[in-house]
Amino acid sequence: MTAVRLRVRTEPIDEADPLLRRADPRTPLVWLRRGEGMIGLGETLRIESTGPGRIDDAGAAWAELAELADVDDRVGLPGTGLIAFGAFAFADDSASTSVLVVPELVLGKRDGRSWLTRIELVPGGRGSGADAGAAPEPAGAPGGIHSPDTYTDTDAPGIPEPAPRRRAPRIAFEPAALPPAAYEAAVAEAVRRIDAGELEKVVLARTQQGELHEEDGLRAVLGSLADDYPDTWVFAVDGLIGASPETLVRVDHGTVSARVLAGTAPRGGDEEADRVSAAELAASAKSRSEHALAVASAVKRLEPHTARLDASPEPFTLQLPNLWHLATDLKGTLGDGSDALDLVRAVHPTAAVAGTPRKKAVAAIAELEGFDRGRYAGPVGWIDGGGDGEWAIALRSAQVGDDGRVTAFAGCGIVHDSVPADELAETVLKFRPIVDAFGG
Ligand SMILES: C=C(O[C@@H]1C=C(C(=O)O)C=C[C@H]1O)C(=O)O
């Protein structure tokens, strides 16, 4: 790989609010929760990768970029200085590329402090002087770095003014891959395999599709997700958008944390029914065993990298506007100098989105779902030059294609007492964030 040098400047600013309304309306780059987080503008370069080594390759290219970067960071928080937003494909054999996108400008806010980061290519920094502006490496090359070869300082964007709020574009979603009857049949087949002892748990998903006819409507869709699901990670990376409640892994100055979700119940129609629904979820043997598998997989993969790792002793019920989840928070300290991408590679895919045992579950997903998940259920988040980062599992999400096709995904963990019609109903609840955000 040819060496690429970046110049990075982070400075405090008085105010970045409202972050989301300063995001790019067409190609938003967003990571937000409860009004804090980061938006990226422009693109200085991207790292693309595919295949089984996609996270490793991206991580190696990132480490090299970070090593060579000339960074002046006057804020010093996780996410300041050099940063990339990323989204990785779920499966090793996915046709979707995995990406780390390094923006030109980042506006961020954390713990009430706001900042601005500018990231630019050092002229002549790619290879030896004469090589500057060399043709980008081919897409799909391991860790391939792509950058505009005409970048100059004068192209650098300024801080955008917040755009007025507008209505999100409407999409009428239709069932696509694994439509309802086929989904129920796949769930029944999964239960049969589980009962035959072939595996313990497998997560099966289906898709819905629609057409987006407004090119600059995605920012409004994200605004709606952020308003309706403030306690989730609202993200947009290279057309992958969503509002995920599940933290795959977070690294912050030597601490590691994660939120494992598995086990789902509908919200009740009134206060009493809602309380009963949550209580039944907390007491359900089916949900608790499904949840325990997800926690065990995350703990097993994180433990080798942590000096200490604690889990909340009992799963708790997490309330979201559309459903209840069983949740376990993990917290620990890093033990081996891993960065956020090392841990992403270690934990993906957890049993929350694949199953147990992992290998058999991943094979069963490919066979029973029969479609490419793309980046759905893959890691989505950011990493900074110091190795800190926040990564969620890309759930309650949709991929927006260049042609305007929007594919939404939702899935459920299947265990031996799963009932196909109930799992189908659960997918409907899990589609709601995306369907509603597009005016559903
Ligand atoms: C697979 C999804 O969600 C996952 C599956 C869950 C379950 O089966 O109970 C709960 C949370 C997520 O870990 C999805 O939203 O598509």
Q: Summarize pLDDT for 258-310 with one digit per residue, the tens.
A: 999 999 999 999 999 999 999 999 999 999 999 999 999 999 999 999 999 99
Ligand 1 centroid – CA 263 distance (Å): 7
Distance from C-alpha of 440 to C-alpha of 434, rounded to nearest angstrom: 8
Q: Would 159 be classed as within a structural domain?
A: no
Nearest CA to ligand 1 atom 2: 411
Answer yes or no: is the C-beta of 246 below 6 A from any ligand 1 atom.
yes
Number of separate domains in the chain: 1
Instruction: Note the pTM of the prediction, 2 decimals.
Output: 0.94
Please name the residues in contact with 142: beta carbons below 8 A apart, sequence gap of 6 or more.
49, 50, 51, 53, 57
- Whether 201 sits among the annotated catalytic residues: the reply is yes
Q: Dump pLDDT digits (tens) for 97-123.
A: 999 999 999 999 999 999 999 999 998
Dihedral-angle region of residue 140 (phi above 0 means left; psi in -120 to 50 means alpha; beta otherwise) = left
Q: Which residues of 182-193 are buried (b: 16+ CB within 10 A; e: fewer)?
A: ebbebbebbbeb
- Other C-beta atoms lying within 10 Å of the C-beta of residue 174: 11
For residue 368, what is the domain's CATH number? 3.60.120.10
Which ligand 1 atom sits closest to the C-alpha of 287?
9
Q: Does the beta carbon of 206 sit less than 6 angstroms from any atom of ligand 1? A: no
* Ligand 1 site, residue 325, Cβ cutoff 6 A: yes
For ligand 1, what atom is nearest to the CA of residue 291?
A: 9
Please return the burial class of 346, using the count of CB atoms within 10 Å of its CB with bins 0-12, 13-18 and 19+. Answer: middle
DSSP β-ladder status, 70-73 and 6-13 = parallel
9: CA distance to ligand 1 center in Å?
39
Mean pLDDT value across residues 395-409:
97
> 8 CA to middle of ligand 1, Å?
38
Given the residues 246, 290, 369, 426, the one annotated as active site: 246
Residues 405, 16: Cα–Cα separation, whole Å: 32
- Closest residue by Cα to residue 423 from 349, 367, 360, 368: 368
* Pocket lining: 263 vs ligand 1, CB cutoff 6 Å: yes
Decide: 429 in ligand 1 pocket, CB within 6 A.
no
What is the model's pLDDT at position 148? 53
Examine the predicted complex and report whether its ipTM is higher than 0.95: yes
Domain hosting 107: range is 6-151+169-437
pLDDT given for residue 156 in this prediction: 55
Nearest residue (CA) to ligand 1, atom 6: 262
Domain assignment present for residue 161? The answer is: no
Mean pLDDT, the chain, rounded, equals 93
Domain contains 398: yes
Does residue 403 lie within any of the structural domains? yes
Domain membership flag for residue 376: yes
> Which pLDDT band, with edges at 50, 70 and 90, does 132 fall under?
very low
Residue ID of nearest Cα to ligand 1 atom 1: 411
Locate the ligand 1 atom nearest the alpha carbon of residue 260 and give its number: 13
What would the pLDDT profile of 301-337 be if each residue is shown by its tens digit?
999 999 999 998 899 999 999 999 999 999 999 999 9
Task: Return the bridge partners of 355, or none.
Answer: 202
Res 135 pLDDT > 50 = no
Kindly state whether residue 1 falls inside one of the protein's structural domains: no
Q: Among the atoms of ligand 1, which is closest to the Cα of residue 410?
A: 16
Closest residue CA from atom 9 of ligand 1 = 263
In a domain, 158, yes or no: no
Whether 156 maps to a domain, the answer reads no
40: Cβ below 6 Å to ligand 1? no
Residue 368 Cβ < 6 Å to ligand 1 = no
